[in-house]
Amino acid sequence: MQISDLERVARQIRIRDLQAVFEAKAGHIGGEMSAIDIMTALYFKVLKVWPDQPKHPDRDRFVLSKGHTACALYVTLAKRGFLPEEEISTFLKPLSRLNGHPNCNKVPGVETNTGPLGHGLPVAVGMAKAAKLTGAAYHTYVMTGDGEMQEGSNWEAISSAAQFQLDNLTLIIDHNRFQQGAALTDTNNLAPFRSKLEAFGWDVSEINGNAMAEVVPALERRSTSGRPHCIVAHTNKGQGISFMQDKVDWHHKVPSEEQYKIAMAELTEAL
Amino acid sequence: MNAIDTKPKLHDCRDAFVAVLERLGAENSKVVAVCNDSVGSSKLGGFKAKWPERLVNVGIAEQNMVGVGAGLANGGLLPFVCGASCFLTGRSLEQVKADIAYSNANVKLVGISSGMAYGELGPTHHSIEDFAWTRVLPNLPVIAPCDSIETAAAVEWAAAYQGPVFLRLSRVGVPDLLPAGHKFELGKANLLRDGDAVTLIANGTLTHRMMKAADILASQGIEARVLNMATVRPIDVEAVVKAATETGAILTAEEHSVYGGLGSAIAEVVVAEAPAPMKILGVPGIFAPTGSAEFLLDEFGMAPAAVAEAAIALIARKKTRA
């Protein structure tokens, strides 16, 4: 898939995500919009996966550690063929398997259950370590939020990934600069991330995480030095919808009817 | 003649655990051990010497340890995640919940030195809350073997079982009670001695104390039933109901708080299915003082003579009711 094709798919995913959050009257739309370009690049270009065999042992792993943006993952997985696209309309409905945080035992393509923050990276370290021990060729990707990096468990995992020389592991930090209640800078500002990850022995790339032409090569980059790779993806919370962009309110706000129309028009126009 | 009376050899159940682990490791290259700088206290030195690359030591980082275990299982390996039970369960409880139990990861959690094995080190190192914390989690069998034979059988069973398991082991020496060749069955209590006056139920380091208490009761003409109930979840409902209906009273003892552990699990069944008087022995809802595990168990009324006395008082309650 060419970059322009990926950009088109990302916009389609944004539109479906917006509709799902609007209809469910809940979701985490800001952090979904910031992360959708990366998820699109992963599932439509980078990851070696077989939607009809979601547990294939040689599949690349992707762990969405910022599990509250599950809706974007569901839409992406559905579009890639892991589940029926029409099922997205059940998001958050009673007894739907598409709840607010992904469940690996119910939703094909989900690798581990996330939701509480700071869980995905340690599990991803285990996945990458397993590949080293068994000689498997799969690559492990994990995406965290930038606010999520405040969880101490991530730094335990970062340290061990370097110790284990996991050059088959890529951590993507969705650096949209906002967490639930405020800007990162006003809360517990771990940025800049590059120097911290480098100090732990990681290779670090910094990209515009909403620019597909930068996202794809960063995800495809392979370290051969025994160092795990961190992509600090500078993104915008609410990317693609002008009035949501970089507004902390849109962490989990639901658009009104009028806002929905404006947002849908903006995304459709871009298509 | 009961072997308990002849000063039997005491076994550290960790030895049985690692003996089976190393045999499984030789048979199956997917078996890996994960630990938190606990190679010595988990007795993983032999495993490490044989397969250094399959000993995944994450350092002093229990949350990461449990998450890494889940990831290793996702990658097709069979991880035994070993650490002092107080840290494995307490420090990483959310990882045990989300990454292991809720994700239904094929990870074997092995809590070492549980209960008050680290008695002298104080309440930070006592693991007398771990039954309560783990037995509320769906998908997660909770097992506390009573001797080295049951430990070996439970490790063997856990390796073959597809799904998460919490094995709660101790380092405190216990005599062998179960017959050689014993096969572990999840959720099935073992009848160690039959009787109709009262049922004594325990697991882990307490089962052999129940056998001694039953000897004392027998010397006074009271025949107690003794059940070893290693599985705390799922609880053996059938054995509990039979004990309540056939003996009319149940005394439980555990190296755990009296709140939320084996006694509570049994009481949940008794209240709902077959109401009968009960006595739950354990740590009485306090942070325990300093002392060895054996000292503290005695201190909290779990010396065999004290258990026998408590059983007699319980039987009196049964008679009052009748």
CATH code, domain with B36: 3.40.50.970
Nearest CA in chain B to A157: B64
Q: Return residues 83-112 of B near A (CB < 8 Å).
A: 94-95, 98-99, 102-105
CATH code, domain with A244: 3.40.50.970
Average the pLDDT over A170-177 and give the result. 98
Domain shared by B309 and B226, yes or no: yes
Q: Which domain covers residue B74, as residue numbers?
A: 10-175
Domain shared by B60 and B165, yes or no: yes
Check whether A230 has a pLDDT greater than 90: yes
Lowest mean pLDDT among A192-196, A242-246, B146-150: A242-246
Which pLDDT score is estimated for B322? 52
Question: Which one is catalytic: B22, B27, B53, B62?
Answer: B62
* Contact criterion met (CB below 8 Å) for A195 and A159: no
Amino acid, res. A111: E
Please give the share of chain B, as a percent, with pLDDT higher than 90.
96
How many domains does chain A fold into?
A: 1
Average the pLDDT over A2-10 and give the result. 97
The string of pLDDT tens digits covering residues B67-80 is 999 999 999 999 99
Nearest CA in chain A to B53: A133
Distance from CA of A64 to the nearest CA of B (A): 13
Between the CA of residue B89 and those of A137, B86, B105, B115, B125, what are the distances in Å? 33, 6, 16, 12, 12
Annotated catalytic, B255? no
Q: Name the pairing type of β-strands B231-233 and B142-143.
A: antiparallel
Domain shared by B149 and B212, yes or no: no
pLDDT range class, residue B44, cuts 50, 70, 90: very high
Which pLDDT score is estimated for A50? 98
Q: Which of B29, B30, B54, B68 to mutate to test the interface with A (most CBs of A within 10 A)?
A: B68
CATH code, domain with B223: 3.40.50.920
Domain shared by B138 and B239, yes or no: no
Domain shared by B15 and B140, yes or no: yes
Which pLDDT score is estimated for A271? 66
How many domains does chain B fold into?
A: 2
Last residue of a domain, one of B151, B175, B199: B175
The string of pLDDT tens digits covering residues A85-103 is 999 999 999 999 999 999 9
Name residue, tokens 């006056």.
B197
Check whether B1 has a pLDDT greater than 60: no
Domain shared by B162 and B31, yes or no: yes
Question: What H or E segment, with its residue span, contains residue B310?
Answer: helix B304-321
Bridge partners, B82 (sequence order): B35, B110
Q: Which domain covers residue A43, as residue numbers?
A: 3-270
Residue A129 touches partner B, C-beta closer than 8 Å: yes
Task: Determine if residue A46 is left, alpha or beta; phi over 0 gives left, psi from -120 to 50 gives alpha, anything else beta.
Answer: alpha
Check whether B3 has a pLDDT greater than 60: no
Residue B69 touches partner A, C-beta closer than 8 Å: yes
Residue A121 touches partner B, C-beta closer than 8 Å: yes
Among candidates B227, B112, B128, B123, which has minimal Cα distance to B171? B112
Domain shared by B302 and B206, yes or no: yes
Sign of CA dihedral B119, B125, B129, B134: negative
What is the average pLDDT score of chain B?
Answer: 96
Q: Do residue A119 and residue B68 have CB atoms under 8 angstroms apart?
A: no
Check whether B2 has a pLDDT greater than 60: no
Residue A271 DSSP symbol: -
Which pLDDT score is estimated for B7? 77
What is the average pLDDT score of chain A?
Answer: 97
Domain shared by B166 and B194, yes or no: no
Check whether A71 has a pLDDT greater than 80: yes
Domain shared by B306 and B262, yes or no: yes
- Alpha carbons B248 and B274: distance in angstroms, whole number: 9
The string of pLDDT tens digits covering residues B229-266 is 999 999 999 999 999 999 999 999 999 999 999 999 99
Domain shared by B203 and B254, yes or no: yes
pLDDT range class, residue A133, cuts 50, 70, 90: very high
Distance from CA of B47 to the nearest CA of A (A): 15
> Which residues of A are less than 8 Å from B79 in CB distance?
126
Check whether B58 has a pLDDT greater than 50: yes
> Which residues of A are less than 8 Å from B76 in CB distance?
57, 130, 134, 136
| Beta-carbon contacts below 8 Å between A and B | 111
Which pLDDT score is estimated for B6? 61
Check whether A199 has a pLDDT greater than 80: yes
Domain shared by B142 and B238, yes or no: no
Nearest CA in chain B to A120: B67
Q: Which of B96, B103, B108, B139 to mutate to test the interface with A (most CBs of A within 10 A)?
A: B103
Distance from CA of A129 to the nearest CA of B (A): 7
Q: Do residue A129 and residue B73 have CB atoms under 8 angstroms apart?
A: no
Domain shared by B39 and B163, yes or no: yes
pLDDT range class, residue B319, cuts 50, 70, 90: confident
- Alpha carbons B296 and B120: distance in angstroms, whole number: 10
B181 found inside a domain? no
Judged by DSSP in three states, B31 sits in strand
